[in-house]
Chains A and B, each alone.
Chain A
Amino acid sequence: MSLGAGAVPSVAHPVLRGTHLPHCRITEVAGAAMTVTYGIGARCWLPALREVCKKVCDRCTVSSTAGYQCRIFLSTNSMSWRALLQEAFERSVVFTQFICFLNVFSNHVVEVHQCLGPSMLPTFNVSGDILLLEHLSSRFERIKPGDVVMARSPANPRLVVCKRVLGLEGDSVTVLPTSSRGHIRQTVVPKGHVWLQGDNAYNSTDSRHYGPVPYALIQGKVFYRIWPPEGWGPVLSQPTS
């Protein structure tokens, strides 16, 4: 079955006997369907292939293509229900794979997220900036003090908050007071935890209220802002005092 580039094979199928499909070879015949692989590294282009098939035999239909392969159905109608079904099935498989790919990418690599509320002023606006979040540095424990992260709120698991990391486990952090009567104090972050604080110390619910947060609640690091357009650019890590 192996053929050199450019050769024109004779199709060895009872219905297509003696006909020619340029540049391709049959790799699989099953019932009324056969799979044809292009031999010259050209991708199948469905309309062109239909044209070729029509020339060769008016009783076959091309149902779908995948890369260098395409599937041809032989039938008495121009498009049999089997071919239709096959095509519908294959399209839905490709669609499912695409959705799954998007899901895996946004769960494990980069996700688009919105940050609402006043707690990160002046770094982010109140109205909800759209940010890119990467999950790799939290997975591989590359989060450093000063990074902006998104974390599941300890007080409400359905809520994801956007804060800045002020200290990792063992670090001593300076805690600003939450009210005008409070005092600045020092605290040490316990094992496996991080200290999160909003950039807007006057209006932010953060570790000063709910204490240090387990590292495992961190969803990812914010590294880019894509909305609003004038704020487009990387989100930088700020040195913490």
Chain B
Amino acid sequence: MGESLLSSLWLLTKRVCAGAVVGITLSDRIGSVATMHGRSMQPTLNPAEDDPWGYLNADLLFLEKLSLRTYNFSRGDVVVFRSPLEPKMWLVKRLIALQGDWVTVPGTYDILQVPKGHCWVEGDNAEISLDSKSFGPIPLGLMKGKVTHVVWPPSRFGPVASHLPEGRVLSQKAGTRTYP
């Protein structure tokens, strides 16, 4: 009996490992889900963060990773990237401008051209968002995925629209692709 228990345990371990390996590959290459905390993307994401239970009702997002293969991101996409200041931290912001675009820096009269390979990101809730207006344009290499859907709570289930705020980009290069 001990032998059969051992062999079934071994079989179970193997199944779990195989499942984990397939799961990690899918989440690396195709897409994964993640919760997001904080109010920087209100009202698009986490609109309920103000109420006392808000932290528990944080949105569960679907991150699409296929665009990481070519780093083709468009202006207006909601993107996830690793913070340039704290490597362990992942941020969710809206991509405003790509390389070569001229953007106005909010709160100043500065106009700035986004350097090669970089992009400009901003939160929808401009007042409290920690974004490119504090750390400047960020390299596209920091990107970790694109937010395409809200998965949870069920009342908010649906796609996350890509939309570019009016008048933020002064002159943009033709097309939306970053690299030909």
Contacts and interface: CB of A to CB of B under 8 A. Distances in A.
B116 interface: yes
Interface stretch (A14-22, A48-56, A93-101): A93-101
Contacts of A155: 115-117, 139
A217 B70 contact: no
Nearest to A93: B18
A157 B139 contact: yes
B1 A68 contact: no
Contacts of A41: 3
22 contacts: A37-B7, A41-B3, A67-B14, A68-B7, A69-B11, A97-B21, A99-B25, A103-B29, A104-B21, A108-B24, A153-B139, A154-B139, A155-B116, A156-B116, A156-B179, A193-B84, A214-B84, A214-B142, A215-B87, A216-B84, A216-B87, A216-B142
B82 interface: yes
Instruction: Give the dominant DSSP class at A's interface.
Output: mixed
B118 to A, nearest CB: 7
Contacts of A151: 141
Given A96-B22, A214-B139, A216-B142, A157 B115 contact: no
Interface string A141-175: 10000000001111111100000000000000000
A220 interface: no
Interface in B1-40: 1, 3-4, 7, 10-11, 14, 18, 21-22, 24-25, 28-29
From A2, A154, A216, name the one whose CB has the most chain B CB atoms within 10 angstroms: A216
A216 B18 CA distance: 29
Given A158-B179, A192-B86, A214-B142, 9 more contacts: A2-B1, A37-B4, A67-B10, A100-B21, A151-B141, A157-B71, A157-B141, A191-B85, A214-B84
Interface residues of A, number: 34
A141 B89 CA distance: 13
Contacts, number: 86
Interface size class of B (residues with CB under 8 A): 20 to 34
Given A37-B7, A104-B24, A157-B140, A214 B82 contact: yes
A107 interface: yes
A198 interface: no
Given A154-B141, A157-B71, A192-B86, A101 B21 contact: yes
B22 A100 contact: yes
Interface of A: 2, 5, 37, 39, 41, 67-69, 96-97, 99-101, 103-104, 107-108, 141, 151-158, 191-193, 213-217
A5 B7 CA distance: 14
A67 B25 contact: no
Interface in B134-180: 138-143, 178-179
Contact of A157 (B21, B84, B143): B143
A152 B141 contact: yes
A54 B135 CA distance: 73
A216 B82 contact: yes
Given A153-B117, A214-B87, A103 B7 contact: no
B4 to A, nearest CB: 6
Instruction: Identify the 9 closest CB pairs spanning chains A and B, nearest first.
Output: A152-B141, A216-B82, A154-B139, A214-B84, A192-B85, A157-B140, A100-B25, A157-B141, A155-B117
B22 A97 contact: yes
B141 A153 contact: yes
Contacts of B70: 158
A214 B3 contact: no
